[in-house]
Amino acid sequence: MLAVDDLHCERDERVLFSGLSFEVKSGSLLQVQGANGSGKTTLLRILAGLNQDFTGNLHWQGRPRASVLTEFQQSLFYLGHAPSVNRTLTPLQNLRWFCALQGYADDEAIVAALTAQGLAGYAGIPCCQLSAGQQRRVSLARLELTAAALWILDEPFTALDRLAVAALEGRIGRHAEAGGAVVLTTHHALKTPWPLSILDLDALRPEAL
């Protein structure tokens, strides 16, 4: 699905990773791990096309990503470390905006997505009145509203309670089982029956080799 070849990135004259090559295949889960400052978020942003400060090659479905950028973007769901909600809007309004970007409008699907996140009855409450965990779940409701094959998730378990963590683990596993792929960072000990690969950036840093 996504192939990375000989990736090199520096920040503040410090090499984060070099010669990094790997593949993200359909039906796979890849967890990127490493100490704070090891480049986990930077790598995810490079994979998502949000950071161009690197050298190396990325291919999407066997073709250079730059040549199929629109197709790649349509197949990508990216969730950064922040909740990424407009706190002045309600969950319903936030997700209407997201759905509009996907080219459709479906309030019933939005309400169902919020219910799946344990937010039944919260659709019309401004996000500024919700807890950090509830705001995170508004963001995660987008997982129910996207047809993207590749999910790139940066610390998606942040601020979630035990039940929400279990629900997200199940949702990630079902996406892989359906042929999708997930690349994520997390400090959470991920529990999933689906095979999980680990990419340890600490082990790949030049001083560790």
Residue 63 binned pLDDT confidence (cut-offs 50, 70, 90): very high
pLDDT score recorded for residue 209? 45
The H-or-E segment that residue 202 falls in is helix 201-204
Interatomic CA distance for residues 139 and 103, integer angstroms: 18
Check pLDDT > 80 for residue 27: yes
Residue 11 binned pLDDT confidence (cut-offs 50, 70, 90): confident
Average pLDDT, the chain: 92
147 contacts: CB under 8 Å, gap ≥ 6: 102
Task: Spell out the domain ranges in the chain.
Answer: 1-75+180-209
| Superfamily of segment(s) 1-75+180-209 | P-loop containing nucleotide triphosphate hydrolases (3.40.50.300)
- Report the C-alpha dihedral over residues 186, 192, 198, 202, rounded to 10 degrees: 30
28 contacts: CB under 8 Å, gap ≥ 6: 1, 176, 181, 182, 195, 197
Buried b vs exposed e over 115-131: b needs ≥16 C-beta within 10 Å? ebbbbeebbeeebeebe
Check pLDDT > 80 for residue 205: no
Check pLDDT > 50 for residue 146: yes
Residue 206 binned pLDDT confidence (cut-offs 50, 70, 90): low
β-bridge partners, 204: none
List, for residues 156-202, the tens digit of each pLDDT value: 999 999 999 999 999 999 999 999 999 999 988 888 778 889 999 98
Check pLDDT > 90 for residue 59: yes
E strand intervals along 26-145? 29-33, 55-60, 63-64, 76-79
Question: For residue 75, what are its two tokens?
Answer: 């197949």
pLDDT score recorded for residue 195? 82
DSSP 8-state symbol, 76: E
pLDDT score recorded for residue 193? 77
Question: For residue 59, what are its two tokens?
Answer: 């291919």
Residue 153 contacts residue 79 (beta carbons within 8 Å):
yes
What pTM does this model have? 0.92
